[in-house]
Amino acid sequence: MNARHPGPTSDRYRLEQMDADADLMVLNFGPQHPSTHGVFRIKLILDGEVVVRAIPYAGYLHRGVEKLLERLTFAQGVPIVDKNDYVAPMTNEQALVMAFEKLLKIEVPRRARWMRTIFAELQRIASHMLWLGTFALDMGGALGGGSGVFIYTFRERDYILDLFEMVTGGRFHYNTHTIGGNRHDIPPGWDREVTKVLDLIESRLPEYEAMSSNNAIFVARTKGVGVIDKELALGLGLTGPILRASGVDFDLRRDAPYHAYDELKVNVATATAGDCQARAQVRVAELRDSIRLVRQGLAGLPEGGINGGKPIKMPQQFKTMTGQAYVGIDTPRGELGTFVVAGGGDKGTAPYRCKIRAPSLHALSALPWILPGHTVSDVVVILGSLDPIMGEVDR
Amino acid sequence: MAVIDESGQAYDHPLYTTLINVPGLSVAVASIDQLLTWGAKNALYIFPMATSCCGIEFMATAAARVDIDRIGSIVRATPRQADVMVIAGTITVKMAPKVKRLWDQMPEPKWAIAMGSCAISGDFYRDLYPTVPGIDTILPVDVYVPGCPPDPQALMHGMLRLQEKIAAKQAGTWRAPELRPETEKMHGPAVRRIDDPERDPAITAEQSRQAGLQSPDAPEGELDWRGAEPVPVQAALELEALLRERFGIEDFPADSAPIVPRDRHLELANTLKAMGYSLLIYVVASHWPKPEGDTFEVAYALRSPNAGAKLAQWRVVLQPGETIESLASVFAAADWQEREQYDLLGVHFANHPDLRRIMLPENWQGHPLRRDYAADTACRPWR
């Protein structure tokens, strides 16, 4: 399909075409390898230490979420999707309730939309911090230099989780979005706590930025590794930071604003190299912009109610006729969407079919295209730079 | 236990049980058993069987705030160097054989901690076809840490409880707590705990082979697809003009995407791609059982990665026995998307380069997202 990336099914990678004397080795990477970020398996065909073919196997965490959503009412689905992308549950909930709101034609109050913006951007900081720590862990090893970065980024992430705990009572499964608004209002004094945390994280950002662009080891491990060019990125349906690191200036927050993004200006960070370093730099740049967005969101947070729907007494109260709706939002990993089909009639209280569009699934489908030619140690770095979360890949 | 020598000097250490008095010298003696237990419980190396959300909280436990290193536990990601397996997350029937094998690879003495509701009971996935209803149906669990997910502090507490349990077992003062009888509310499959004396031993050996312990790798290049037949398709919104003029579509429902004829679906995708709709957003099939057979509706969406982020959506309706042309030749992303719909709904995509299951094991029977598939289908011996 593409001269640079011959593609997983091209003849070049047909095993029977490979030289029988090349003494190829099969290495099973995963499903319990700590660097697979969950349970994921890649069958690597190696010539020495160089990958000649990679065959990914997903599904080790397939939990039947879509079947479960068909069995529950609309309102009951929210805590279920928390567990899909468990590094960014806020945006998971938002993608689900926004699709249901579109289907049920429910208006969300302005204050709730602003709160969702603040939550989404705080979640982006927390998610990127976790990614940075584990990415360094992938490169440096648990007992090497990587664990230092891991300890620091988890420290920042815990501050953000504390903020969410103040609002929702949960550390990272929140169940705070409902159809038509939010469940928990912001407690008094929360904005001061947020400002304190943001000041602290912002003062440390130069260290993370310097690491991703200047640190000799970081650069040596990431520069020119795992290049995804623009054409392949678009063809694979990659979205979010991965797409932006491949030179496509596209962000749903700016180009199709939802929440309060039509009132807050989003600066979209892009890079053109498409390699692991570019992906890292885009994510670190997003940290700074997210901090700015949260500050602006807090400053401009409107007063008013936070739920436009009637208070939920019976989950069965939401009924639909037939119809379909799709809403996609930009999460830390890319476009997370929910496609929902309503069956109508007596089945009107539950989705007839509900599909979660997982950005990580698309990201992992890039592996057979970009792994060949790299060494085994680079496989770990490339996989980490794609930031996959198996909960949403497999669902 | 403290021992006191003749001069009244107290030696306080849990290991000292006996004091031998030699002139000018006091020697405290401990049994080898005690020594080994003391060593084991203070250097519990953890093998993290982290599959999902609880794995993130497990990592937070190892990070700075809670710092599990304080009790001598470090994370060893290999079963051969570990003492404790922390099962953090949902275990699925596809993963369960791997967990069992890893557990078997750990050297004795070994312990297991079930972290979080999924590992304990399957949580709300308990009733669903791919989930193991509690890890204690596969391996014996020493400590249960409840929560969804448990706080890092809770896991730390669980580790301390495990230390207590190890010491108490050695000292002979361990008494197993009474298990709460399963209430009627605990429905789900009746798979007995592995340490349940009434569990049928035959279930582990023969049935595990039948249940597909090792899912065979897909055959290279040998794919079973039916011949290419055309499929109906549909587009949306401001694409209306294109669909009206070039594809002759008249019906544009307000609440859903238009239906495109099956034989022009590929042509539409190519046209839209040329118009700049270069991102494949979703491929979703839904199952509509009818008296005459299984009808499927396959919905597609493309997005234009430009200002406005326009979305082009359409649908194709498949009558019983019909297949749909794969978009894998137009969008590389269609490869996995269509495999997923094939796996979960059994829709056949003609001319797909690699149509095989992606989520479920290769030898799985049936397609779970069909409306008539029982959600709680059993898969012995894992659920």
A248 interface with B at CB cutoff 8 Å: yes
Chain B positions in Cβ-Cβ contact with residue A362 (cut-off 8 Å): 333, 336
Question: Does residue B212 have a pLDDT over 80?
Answer: no
Residues in Cβ contact with A315 at an 8 Å cutoff, skipping those fewer than 6 apart: A72, A73, A74, A75, A76, A349
Which member of A64, A352, A357 has the closest CB to residue B125? A64
The larger pLDDT score, comparing residue B235 to residue A48, is at A48
* For helices B53-62 and A146-168, angle between their N-to-C axes, nearest 10 degrees: 120
Contact (CB<8Å) B90/A43: no
Q: What is the CATH number of domain A65-394?
A: 1.10.645.10
Other CB atoms within 10 Å distance of the CB of residue B290: 9
Question: Does residue B204 have a pLDDT over 60?
Answer: no
Beta strands B143-145 and B111-115 are parallel
- CA-CA-CA-CA torsion sign (A130, A136, A140, A145): negative
- For chain B, report the end-to-end CA distance as a whole number of angstroms: 46
Question: Does residue B220 have a pLDDT over 70?
Answer: no
Chain A positions in Cβ-Cβ contact with residue B63 (cut-off 8 Å): 133, 150-151, 154-155, 158
Chain A positions in Cβ-Cβ contact with residue B305 (cut-off 8 Å): 234, 243, 248, 250, 255
Task: Give the torsion through C-alpha atoms of B147, B152, B155, B157, to 10 deg.
Answer: -110
Question: How many residues comprise chain B?
Answer: 383
Which member of A235, A361, A391 has the closest CB to residue B331? A235
Nearest to A358 by CA among B314, B123, B283, B131: B283
Contact (CB<8Å) B335/A390: no
CB contact burial B11-36 (16+ within 10 A = b; e otherwise): eeeeebeeeeeeeeeeeeeeeeebee
Burial class, B303, CB count within 10 angstroms (exposed 0-12 / middle 13-18 / buried 19+): buried
- Looking at the DSSP bridge assignments, the partners of residue A307 are A181
Cα B324 to Cα B284: distance, rounded to the nearest angstrom: 12
Determine the 3-state secondary structure of B294 from DSSP: strand
Q: Are B120 and B144 in contact (CB under 8 A)?
A: yes
pLDDT at B217: 41
Q: How far, CA to CA in Å, does B222 sit from each of A38, B343, B352, B354?
A: 30, 16, 12, 8
For A153, phi then psi, to 5°, come to: -70, -30
Tell me the count of A-B CB pairs closer than 8 A: 201
Which member of A9, A67, A237 has the closest CB to residue B368? A67
Please state the domain extents for chain A: 65-394
B357 interface with A at CB cutoff 8 Å: yes
Chain B positions in Cβ-Cβ contact with residue A133 (cut-off 8 Å): 63
- CA-CA-CA-CA torsion sign (A176, A178, A180, A183): negative
Q: Which one of B47, B52, B338 makes the best mutation probe of the A interface by having the most chain A beta carbons within 10 Å?
A: B52
pLDDT band at B191 (very low <50, low <70, confident <90, very high): low
Chain B residue with CA closest to A343: the answer is B288
Nearest to A55 by CA among B221, B77, B225, B211: B221
pLDDT at B218: 37
Contact (CB<8Å) A324/B257: yes
Q: Are B55 and B48 in contact (CB under 8 A)?
A: yes
* Residue type, position A386, single letter: L
Cα B338 to Cα B328: distance, rounded to the nearest angstrom: 8
pLDDT band at B203 (very low <50, low <70, confident <90, very high): low
To the nearest whole Å, the CA of B342 is away from the closest chain A CA by 14
* Residue type, position B328, single letter: A
| Omega before A368 within 30 of 0, i.e. cis | no
pLDDT at B75: 85
Question: Does residue B219 have a pLDDT over 50?
Answer: no
Q: How far, CA to CA in Å, does B228 sit from each of A179, B225, B324, B346, B348?
A: 42, 9, 7, 16, 10
pLDDT digits 0-9 by tens, B310-332: 888 888 998 888 889 888 888 88
A224 interface with B at CB cutoff 8 Å: no
Chain B residue with CA closest to A237: the answer is B279
Cα A246 to Cα A386: distance, rounded to the nearest angstrom: 12
Other CB atoms within 10 Å distance of the CB of residue B223: 12
* For helices A190-213 and A276-299, angle between their N-to-C axes, nearest 10 degrees: 160
- Please name the residues between 304 and 323 in chain B that touch chain A, using a CB distance below 8 Å: 305-309, 311, 313
Chain A residue with CA closest to B280: the answer is A237
pLDDT at B67: 86
* H or E element, residue A282: helix A276-299
Contact (CB<8Å) B63/A154: yes
User: Which tokens in the block code for residue B74?
Assistant: 């470090």
- Please name the residues between 204 and 263 in chain B that touch chain A, using a CB distance below 8 Å: 217, 220-221, 255-257
Chain B positions in Cβ-Cβ contact with residue A388 (cut-off 8 Å): none
Q: How far, CA to CA in Å, does A363 sit from each of A233, A379, B12, B71, B208?
A: 9, 14, 58, 38, 33
Highest average pLDDT, of A123-137, A316-330, B18-32, B239-253, comes from A123-137
Q: Which one of A156, A338, A355, A364 makes the best mutation probe of the B interface by having the most chain B beta carbons within 10 Å?
A: A355
Per DSSP (E only), the strands in B233-357 are: 279-290, 293-303, 311-318, 324-325, 349-350
User: Which tokens in the block code for residue B24?
Assistant: 């000018």
pLDDT band at B168 (very low <50, low <70, confident <90, very high): confident
B375 interface with A at CB cutoff 8 Å: yes
pLDDT band at B156 (very low <50, low <70, confident <90, very high): very high
Nearest to B382 by CA among B216, B215, B217: B215
- For chain A, report the end-to-end CA distance as a whole number of angstroms: 29
Domains of chain B: 2-30 (no CATH), 43-173+190-210 (3.40.50.12280), 237-350 (3.30.460.80)
Contact (CB<8Å) A59/B149: no
Contact (CB<8Å) B60/A154: yes
Contact (CB<8Å) A255/B128: no
pLDDT at B78: 86
Cα B318 to Cα B321: distance, rounded to the nearest angstrom: 8
Contact (CB<8Å) A352/B148: no
Sheet strands side by side (includes A351-357): A322-331, A334-343, A351-357
- Please name the residues between 167 and 196 in chain A that touch chain B, using a CB distance below 8 Å: 171-173
Other CB atoms within 10 Å distance of the CB of residue B153: 13
* Residue type, position A212, single letter: S
Among residues of chain A, what percentage have pLDDT more than 70? 88
User: Which tokens in the block code for residue A307?
Assistant: 């739920």
- Complex ipTM, two decimals? 0.86
Largest CA distance in chain A: 73
pLDDT band at B352 (very low <50, low <70, confident <90, very high): confident
Average pLDDT, chain B: 79
Q: How far, CA to CA in Å, does A99 sit from each of A94, A103, A258, A309, B254?
A: 8, 6, 12, 15, 16
- The radius of gyration of chain B's CA atoms, rounded to the nearest angstrom, is 29
Mean pLDDT, to the nearest integer, of B181-191?
A: 57
Residues in Cβ contact with A38 at an 8 Å cutoff, skipping those fewer than 6 apart: A60, A61, A388, A389, A390, A391, B50, B51, B52, B55
Nearest to B84 by CA among B57, B63, B115: B115
Contact (CB<8Å) A58/B353: no
User: Which tokens in the block code for residue A89?
Assistant: 């549950």
Cα A93 to Cα A84: distance, rounded to the nearest angstrom: 10
Contact (CB<8Å) B59/A234: no
Cα B191 to Cα B197: distance, rounded to the nearest angstrom: 13
* H or E element, residue A340: strand A334-343
Among residues of chain B, what percentage have pLDDT more than 70? 78
pLDDT band at B233 (very low <50, low <70, confident <90, very high): very low
The larger pLDDT score, comparing residue B217 to residue A160, is at A160
Determine the 3-state secondary structure of A279 from DSSP: helix
Q: Are B91 and B134 in contact (CB under 8 A)?
A: no
Task: Mark the ranges of chain A whose per-residue pLDDT is less than 50.
Answer: 1-3
